[in-house]
Amino acid sequence: MNILNNISAAFWSPDIWLPPNITWDDIKPTSENQYANHLHLIYPLPMAFVLLGIRYALERYCFAPFGKSVGIKYTRTKQAPSNEILEKAYMGKKIKYNQIIGLAKQLDWSERQVERWLRLRRSQDKPSTLTKFCETCWRWTYYTYSFIFGIVILWDKSWLWDINNCYYNYPYHPVTSDIWWYYMISMAFYWSLSFSQFFDVKRKDFWQMFIHHIATIVLMCFSWVGNLTRIGSLVLLVHDCADIFLEAAKMAKYANYQKLCDFIFVIFTLLWIVTRIGIYPFWIIYSTSIEAPKLVPMFPAYYIFNSLLILLLFLHAIWTWLILKIAYNAFNAGQMEGDIRSNSSDDVSDASINNAPLNHTASHANKQNSRQKVQ
């Protein structure tokens, strides 16, 4: 027990989390000043399940009917015949050509029959366009709400207009009720995405996005505990803006409004570059790295927080390269090719089944690259 107490004391040491000569008692929530309370970080977990319930209701009673009204159909694929041996071999795994030969001999089938069964079984796991449309509508709804809510609550905040107000008199920054809700709902949304990823449409970037959601939650928790909510609210605002148009472009794609999709994707690309390659590094990162040390005595937690922000900038640079690559491929093709975000991974590629030549494999890879999505 003493060991756990010592670990807890070391972890929550004010020498790590707060500027020099500041203790936790100095920023303890009172009736007059409601500072960030680390115990409140438990609230986003139940709130995440509330959001999942709201999402389910909206998808079923609003988004699905809307999708059908614009011509998106819920199509059921042909079911693969029941086969215990093939089902056991399939199990969502990648099946190599040699395995197909072995299965054909075991079942006394031709290789082509095994391939057809695998294709049918694979198609059963692929979600319908209507399902993907509903998921995208939910994310578009959230990002639109979050950005508008962020603008409304930050409009009269001094740090939106002068970012140095994020550091004046730090850490004595009370958290108002609107900022509290902004933070809690944002964290709840990313928790809900982390949970729902396991039953949503399976994407090729499943684990990358899962890690991204968890990293976002960690960053928000870090800023909350360190009472860095002012700079954290600005980071949230900057990041929600472009995502609205990304989800809108995907919605247009699923509904087969190709020209509208292309137009929105252009807006998304411009907004992404302006906000995440322009405003984020030259306003926020510049402020946290150059201006903050002039106004606030530095402490270990701040260095960690700022390092995470800089790491996020490197991710933005990588994603920007991929977005520009998609835009370049779309320009050459005359339209956005395929889905903006990669679909469910195929368990058996055509190349492995047919033992196709190298040039076919290269062509398949190029198509997959052009269908990547960056978030």
Structural domain boundaries of the chain?
33-70+127-333, 84-125+345-370
Res 187: pLDDT: 96
The alpha helices in 76-205, defined as continuous H runs, are 84-90, 97-107, 111-125, 129-154, 158-161, 177-196
Is 85 in contact with 103 (CB distance < 8 Å)?
yes
Question: Using CA atoms, how far apart are residues 301 and 355, in angstroms rounded to an integer?
Answer: 54
Q: What is the pLDDT of residue 95?
A: 79
Per-residue pLDDT at 134: 94
Q: Say if residues 255 and 311 touch (Cβ distance below 8 Å).
A: no
pLDDT the model gives residue 265: 92
Q: How far is CA 372 from CA 85, 205, 312, 367, 369, in A?
A: 34, 9, 19, 9, 5
Output the six-digit token pair for 196.
């729902």
Give the end-to-end CA distance of the chain in Å, rounded to a whole number. 44
Query: Cα–Cα distance between 67 and 357 in angstroms, integer?
Result: 40
* Distance in angstroms (rounded) separating the CA atoms of residues 307 and 287: 13
- pLDDT number for residue 101: 83
pLDDT along the chain (375 residues), means of 10: 80 90 87 86 96 96 94 72 76 74 82 81 76 94 97 96 95 94 96 85 69 86 93 94 95 93 94 96 96 94 91 88 85 59 37 32 37 37
